Structure 1
Amino acid sequence: MSTLNRFSDAFVKVTFQEEPRHGDPMAEPWHELGSQKHQGTVVAMTHALKEKYPGYSLVATQDFRLNLLNFPMTAIEPLSPSDLVTNLVFIPLAKNSSDTPGVLAQSVQYGGFKISWQSYDFIFYTVIYPMGFGQYQQHFILHDGPKDPAHAMLLAAGIFADQLHNEIWVFNQGYWDKDRGLWNEIQKATWDDVILEDDFKEAVKKDIYGFFESEKLYKEYALPWKRGIIFHGPPGNGKTITIKTIMKQADMLGYTPMYVKSFKSWMGDEGSMAAVFGKARQNSPCLVVLEDLDALINDSNRSFFLNELDGINGNDGILVIGTTNHFDRLDPGLSTRPSRFDRKYLYDDPNRAARRLYVRYWQDKLAHNKDLGFPESLAEEVADTTDRFSFAYLKEVFVSSLVTTLQQRQDGHDVSFASSIRKEIETLRKQLDKPESLNVKDAAAPAPAATVVPTSGPEGEFAALLRALRMGTAEDGVEPNSAWAKLVRGFTGARPTGAISTVPLDKF
Structure 2
Amino acid sequence: MTRREILNTVLNAPPDAIVRTLFEAVRTHFPDWHIAEDYGVDLERFARKNDLPFSPIEEAGIDQQIFHYRGKAHTETFQGWHLLEWGSETYELVVLTTRGSHGKNRDTFLIGRTAEAIARLVEAVAEWAREDRGSVLTFEEGCWKTSEELRETVQSTRFESLVLAGDLKERIRGDISSWLEAKETYERFGIPWKRGLILVGDPGNGKTHAVKAIANEFDLKVLYVRSFSCEHASDQANIANVFKRARESAPCLLVLEDLDTLVTPKNRSFLLNEMDGFASNAGILTIGTANSPEKLDPALADRPSRFDRRYVFDRPALSERESYLRLFTERLDPALRLDDAAAEVALVTEGYSFAYLKELVLSGMMAWISGGRDGRFADALLAQAETLGIQMKNEPPPAAYVSPRRDYDEDDDD
TM-score, length-scaled by structure 1: 0.56
1: CA distance, partners of 2:324 / 2:254: 29
Match of 1:263 in 2: 228
Q: Select the residue among 282, 296, 302 that pairs with 1:316.
A: 282
Name which of 322, 327, 331 aligns with 1:356: 322
User: In the alignment, does 2:31 pair up with 1:65?
Assistant: no
Aligned to 2:138: 170
Question: Given the alignment of the two structures, is residue 211 of structure 1 paired with residue 211 of structure 2, yes or no?
Answer: no
Instruction: Supply the AA of the counterpart residue of 1:236.
Output: G
Q: Aligned in 2, Cα 1:394/1:65: closer, same or farther, shift over 3 Å? A: same
Structure 1 residue 383 corresponds to structure 2 residue 346:
yes
**Contact 2:200 2:311 (8 Å CA) reproduced:** yes
For the structure 1 residues 58 and 215, does the alpha-carbon distance in structure 2 shift closer, same or farther, using more than 3 Å as the test? closer
| 1:295 Cα offset (Å) | 0.6
Task: Name the CA distance, whole Å, in 2 between partners of 1:116 and 1:291.
Answer: 38
- What aligned pairs does 1:30-429 form with structure 2 within 5 A after superposition? 65=44, 71-72=50-51, 164=132, 167-197=135-165, 199-250=167-218, 252=219, 255-265=220-230, 266-366=232-332, 369=334, 371-372=335-336, 374-376=338-340, 378-409=341-372, 414-429=374-389
Change (3 A) 1:270 1:246: same
CA distance in 2, matches of 1:210, 1:191: 17
Deviation at 1:221, TM superposition (A): 3.5
Label 1:384 to 1:332 Cα distance change in 2 as closer, same or farther (>3 A).
same
Q: Give the C-alpha shift of residue 191 in structure 1.
A: 1.2
Match of 1:365, SS state, is coil
Percent identity, please.
35
Give the letter aligned to residue 238 of structure 1. G
Indicate if the aligned counterparts of 1:408 and 1:415 stay in contact, CA closer than 8 A: no
- Match of 2:24? none
Question: What amino acid is aligned across from residue 374 of structure 1 in structure 2?
Answer: L
Matched residue SS, 1:309: helix
Q: Gaps (5+ residues) in structure 2? A: 6-31, 36-41, 55-70, 72-83, 92-112, 400-414
* Counterpart in the other structure of 1:447: none
Query: What letter is aligned with 1:422?
Result: L
Q: Tell me the alpha carbon deviations over residues 183-240 of structure 1, each in whole angstroms, 9 at most, x when there is no partner.
A: 2231221112211145111101111222111112223333332221110001100001
Change (3 A) 1:177 1:164: farther
- The CA distance in 2 between the partners of 1:58 and 1:249, in whole Å, is 46
Alpha-carbon displacement from aligned partner over 1:363-410 (angstroms, at most 9, x marks no partner): 5324x51x346351x22211111110111111111122123223432x
Quick one: which amino acid aligns to residue 241 of structure 1?
A: H
Following superposition, the deviation at residue 150 of structure 1 comes to 9.8
| Alpha-carbon contact 2:348-2:382 (below 8 Å) kept | no
Answer whether contact 1:167 1:183 (CA < 8 A) is retained. yes
- 1:322 CA drift (Å): 0.4
2-structure distance, mates of 1:306, 1:116: 39
TM-score by length of 2: 0.67
Read off the aligned partner of 2:393 and give its amino acid letter.
D
The CA distance in 1 between the partners of 2:302 and 2:386, in whole Å, is 40
CA 300–177 in structure 1, closer or farther in 2 if over 3 Å, else same: same
Counterparts in 2 of 1:299 and 1:393: CA distance versus 1, 3 Å:
same
Superposition deviation, residue 181 in structure 1? 3.3
Greater relative contact order (Cα 8 A, min sep 6): structure 1 or 2? Answer: 1
CA distance in 2, matches of 1:169, 1:179: 6
Which residue identity does 2:338 align to in structure 1? F
State the shift of 1:275 in Å: 1.9
**Pair 64,228 (structure 1): closer, same or farther in 2 beyond 3 Å:** closer
Instruction: Give the CA deviation at 1:121.
Output: 11
Return closer, same or farther for 1:58/1:415 CA change in 2, 3 Å cut-off: farther
Residues 337 and 42 of structure 1: is their aligned pair in 2 closer, same or farther, counting only changes over 3 Å?
Answer: closer
Amino acid at match of 1:394: L
The Cα shift of 1:156 comes to 9.7
- Root mean square deviation, CA, Å: 5.3
Partner Cα separation in structure 2 for residue 153 and residue 339 of structure 1: 34
Q: CA deviation at 1:360?
A: 2.2
Contact 2:135 2:221 in 1 (8 A): no
